[in-house]
Amino acid sequence: MKTKKYFGTDGIRGRVGEGKINPEFVLKLGWAAGRVLCNGSSGKVLIGKDTRISGYLFEAALEAGLVAAGMDIRLLGPMPTPGIAYLTRTLHASAGIVISASHNPYYDNGIKFFSASGTKLPDDVEKAIEAEFEKPMVTVDSAKLGKAERIEDASGRYIEFCKSTVPHSLDLSGLKIVVDCANGATYHVAPPVLEELGADVVVIGAEPDGFNINKDIGSTHPEALQQAVLQHHADLGIALDGDGDRLVMVDHTGAIVDGDGVLYIIARSRLAHPEGLQGPVVGTTMSNLGLELALKELGVELQRTDVGDRYILAALDANKWTLGGEPSGHIICRDRTSTGDGIVAALQVLASMVMSESSLRDLSMGMQRLPQILVNVDLGKAEPKTIMENERVQKSVKSAEKTLKKDGRVLLRPSGTEPLIRVMVEGKDAPLVTQLANEIADTVRAVTA
């Protein structure tokens, strides 16, 4: 099939004003999407965004393009990505559009789409939008122009949905929780969810100004959360990213529980209840070997995919499995929602804590994370495939694998966004893992020189 020209694995993303992330492109993208989604009849599309300053610009551009194609618009304002997916489904929209660059700095932005069912758009629809994009932009007759309305209770609807993913009887009274909203789209959603369930909530990262999204805060910078948990003597901390689809947690000692740890806790909790866990847990090639071994102790298989929540979701849906995620904190509870959701995942862990009368630290101790070293090697202008298939590089990898035997893994993969090869080695012996990762990286550098 023809390779897509504009859409990547997670929509279209880049630096504002450069490449495709500019008003002219986004206007035409909205029009092209409207033409495909409308399919000769009327329909409505939801538009939501995170808190970065350029959201106003691209919201207006998308709105104009969609209206010109005859589509009605429902504006959600700042809203977590999973909230937009949920509302797209429940409001019976033709699609949902997210204006966000997720965990990136404020000067980046992006556009991604959800289908009417709240999942990522199928490849054939993205290709149809790209094909329409190449045509001259023509505005429909004035009588057929779309209209735009703002949904005033969007956040309230999503808050109620989040609470519905845990038992109605769940009471978080007695738990002191620090929540870090990364100055992003969850700033007006995550705190009320926890407060309405009875928790004593300390909020950080909930003062967005358009420029501070993800800046030294949130799931990609959990140091701020660790400090706040210790400072406030909290039971745990929850860190989300700028668009709310990633989750990292911190226990009462300040120790980080990443996506692998969260997956383990949720999987173990699911096994203890009648609905159970359907199928293997789906991780990626970057999921820690410690997770695989801990799940094996529970009698659960870890099925690995390529890096990216898109691939995890595809595996879950194809096999009707229910749980998957990445170490970065993309957690998909497919029995609860249609996409990765940081708030929903956090609630599943909190429910497990309450029902088992255990601390986050107690629950996470069942999984021992093995030392994992990641070294990024700059490729310059070299082709990743050529370097990875190089005889010297392959020999270095095989030598490391022979040294580790069954007690570790070696993975080389090209970055999807930068001219890098990522060298990952994990095993039980930290000094050995570091040594082997650096040896392979040195070989890659020698070959690219």
Which stretches within 272-341 are classed as H helix? 289-297, 309-319
| Each residue's pLDDT tens digit, 264-275 | 999 999 998 877
Q: Are 262 and 295 in contact (CB under 8 A)?
A: no
Query: Could you say which of 102, 115, 269, 338 is catalytic?
Result: 102
359 is catalytic: no
Q: Tell me the C-alpha distance between 430 and 418, whole Å.
A: 27
| Each residue's pLDDT tens digit, 305-332 | 998 888 999 999 999 999 999 999 999 9
Stated length of the chain = 449
- Looking at this protein, which amino acid is placed at residue 389? E
User: Across residues 254-272, what is the average pLDDT?
Assistant: 97
pLDDT of residue 42 exceeding 70, the answer is no
R_g over Cα of the chain? 22
pLDDT band, residue 144 (cuts 50/70/90):
very high
pTM of the model: 0.92
pLDDT given for residue 38 in this prediction = 79
